[in-house]
Amino acid sequence: MDQRSVANGTHARIARLLAALALLATALVGVVALPAGPAQAGDGNSIVICDIVYFNGHPVPVNCVRVPLPMLAVTWPPPDWCPQCLFTFDADLLGDPPDPAVIGKIPSEILGGLADLGKAELAANQNDRAALRAAALQSFQSAAAAIGKATYQPGASVLYDPKAGKVISYASPWLDTANKNVAAGLASLQAGAVPDAVGQFDAAYAAIAGK
């Protein structure tokens, strides 16, 4: 799929994730989540989420974002048979396709919003927490604006094997739940229902954090 098909087709593949480079790659982008592990001091655990863009048919992780998790959050290790594998989720944009010039910001704004929600969970005071949550909402609003009249349709999560350079079908219910809540939050923002969207994005972060 080239840029012309993104502009003229009925939907654009997004979320194998996050792509500032989307205009140079195919329209398929995706989110990759590395297993949770130690973050900076005082940050508890974190999970790294990346974009994947496809160059000549090969997935390449880009634009990685660290999402902080509470100290007691559940971690999500890859399966024993693929310890190097990374979690990903996928989505389509259905209906009126967004401007190709802004499609790359959709996944990056979503990930940035999730990262800020994680930082807010670990904020030292209420003022910092409120500021980070406001920044998260602004990122999600930017993603919704870029989507325009299209619909963000979540797909199934899969594994990305960096050693083999391919994706593998693998159920990750927690990540599917997060993606579905992201989709609901974006739809609420498109409908002007901001309070509903806030709760839905909180639910997306909670699914990732194992809360």
Query: 167 and 17 in contact (C-beta within 8 Å)?
Result: no
Measure the CA–CA gap between 60 and 62, rounded to whole angstroms. Answer: 6
pLDDT at 9: 37
Asked if the model's pLDDT at residue 44 lies above 70, the reply is no
β-bridge pairing 166-169 and 158-161: antiparallel
Of 25 and 165, the one with more pLDDT: 165
Q: Return the DSSP state at 16.
A: B
pLDDT at 51 over 80: no
Report pLDDT digits (tens) over 198-211: 999 999 999 888 77
- Residue 29: beta bridge partners? 53
- Is the whole model's pTM more than 0.85, yes or no? no
30 pairs with which residues across the strands? 16, 52
